[in-house]
Chain A
Amino acid sequence: MQFMLLFSRQGKLRLQKWYVPQADKEKKKITRELVQTVLARKPKMCSFLEWRDLKVVYKRYASLYFCCAIEDQDNELITLEIIHRYVELLDKYFGSVCELDIIFNFEKAYFILDEFLLGGEAQETSKKNVLKAIEQADLLQESETTFASSCVKLIL
């Protein structure tokens, strides 16, 4: 996978994960173009499209578009499954996830993604293990803060 983008139906970016180095300007340009292209697709169309020299796999969940760019030899169908697995993880973590959860807890969305994918590949295929790891990390974080400051539970 080269990158993953999450954006709303109005084209606002909610998450961006890049697995190949790109200049900032280039990232903005790519994001803008791709968002436009995907938003222009009609509902009956395929989840796959060819864009530049990459394959783009996208799926809409409620008001969020999940968009992945993969290389030519990658399997589009399994990428759809990867997207779905990520959504399931988010769902389990937040409990019936919606876009607002991702907006207000974007850093957590990143953490979950980083436990699931590493370098663009799935690192852990067990849902339970991923969620367990996140849980433990969260506990570690909490134990620090309750130890450090008595009143503030949410450091952020």
Chain B
Amino acid sequence: MKENVASTVVFILLLFLNINLLNGQSPPGKPEIIKCRSPEKETFTCWWKPGADGGLPTSYTLTYHKEGETLTHECPDYKTGGPNSCYFNKKHTSIWTIYIITINATNQMGSCSSDPRYVDVTYIVEPDPPVNLTLELKQPEDKKPYLWMRWFPPTLVDVRSGWLTLQYEIRLKPEKSAEWEIHFAGQQTQFKILSLYPGQKYLVQVRCKPDHGFWSEWSPESSIQIPNDFTMKDSTVWIFVAVLSAVFCLIMVWAVALKGYSMVSCILPPVPGPKIKGFDTHLLEKGKSEELLSALGCQEFPPTSDCEDLLVEFLEVDDSEDQQLMPAHSKEHPGQGMKPTHLDPDSDSGRGSCDSPSLLSEKCEEPRANPSTFQTPEGIEKPENPPKNVTHTWDPQSTSLEGKIPYFHVDGSKSSTWPLPQPPNQHNFRSSYHNIADICQLATGAAGASATLLDKTDKHAFKSSKTIETGAEGKAAEQREVESFPSKTDQDRAWLPPQEKTPFLSVKALDYVEIHKVNKDGALSLLPKQKENSDQTEKASTPETSKEYAKVSQVTDNNILVLTQDPRAPNLALFEEQAKEAPPSLPHNQAQKDLASFTAPPGNCRLQLGGLDYLDPAGFMHSFQ
């Protein structure tokens, strides 16, 4: 029985529920707050969207509580904001405070609450649009006409006290156009428009935004009709001027482009860079004077080269043709007019090719003198091939001496400009030059301190010890003996003391050798003198600038001519005369004197004046014997 009652009750309840469900009634759905807005940061309104009402009349309530409070309040005004809204007036509005707002939907069946919404009035400010937008066309005299518009802030917003600060934006368009032209107006409540199409009807709108809030809606449209004569009077003139100037500028640009290069080069000619052959600026920057000077062709300063460069060859003068005096290369100190001699490697017979007297002083003049600036006697050919040969052969010797004897070190190539004259119609005397360097080497080798010796006595020693047996005119002191005096083998000979001067040149052949020139290396290039007279005259006409070892200082016992440089005009005659005397045995002392006289102050490029140095043959004379 009881079971029956219970089940019946349940059945009735279920029936009741089913009936209700069949009717479609249910508790309300969940409402939702759409948005909350404040038009002036003093009041605000919230709107919600109801959920399903469940088929029954549903009532909605809004409840809230403020940050920091526990009391829950209900919406003070459901009407002012319209349906499903709640308006909070000034009394109920607090700024910088969070409101937690909830909507409750209730119907007969039940109720449902929305999710709480956190609202801070500070950040939901959206004002009304500006009001009283007025448009006016203004056409002042002598000025451009324009459209002038002004408006007022929305009525509710308190701008005067500074509670809200508004910024405005206007937009306008011709009535039939599709796109708006928007302008930002800042905080001002007026605006001017200048560019307008005449004869059109324009629509204008304005909106505003608070300093930290949302833009308002656009105000209602205001319209204005632009009259047809609304033109910019002087605009055509300006357009004309602009076009003209643009054309002018284009022409100028085109002209400059065409002729710009020539103009620029006319105005600013390219500056030629300074160039000195053989001068390496990098070396100069590094501060290594040695390398610099060596690059320029000068030997080290102070002289430290060995004596290999001091080639002194005995001149061997004979009648054989096509003999050439080997240019005597010697590396001489810049201040010393060393007459370089070069040993002709081919001269087994001691013959060397002779060049005309060279000008040692040339080399002495400038450290950077280009060997190509040799001043050769003009009457003499200036063959260019042989020098190379000479240099090739000479180079090994010279290079070995570089470090010991001060001289104008010229590059190998430069020294190759030491031409060996090969006048076809001339005899080429071959004289073997004794390498001054060898002599030096002798001395240095013996001394064991060649470098230091050189350094100390460089000037004098160099000068005094070098007696160049260049091709002596007339009977050049060719010494067959010289050829037996190999430059290299006698390196261990003792270094000649400066004062010792012994003529070493023994002229065997009776032919004159003319000093062609002295190249940078101090090598004498000698020219064979075919005929005394002819050669003499020929050589006599050599330029004054050429330095010729045309003066025989002495003739040694061994018929070695000790030549000196004649500062005066080429004194081939003198040379010749003296040579003719050969083999006179000049007194030793005379040679000494002469040599001493040649001992020009070191570094003093007075070789032109006769400061040429000769290798003192005395040194190797001993060995020679």
- A and B bound? no
A interface list, Cβ under 8 A from B:
none
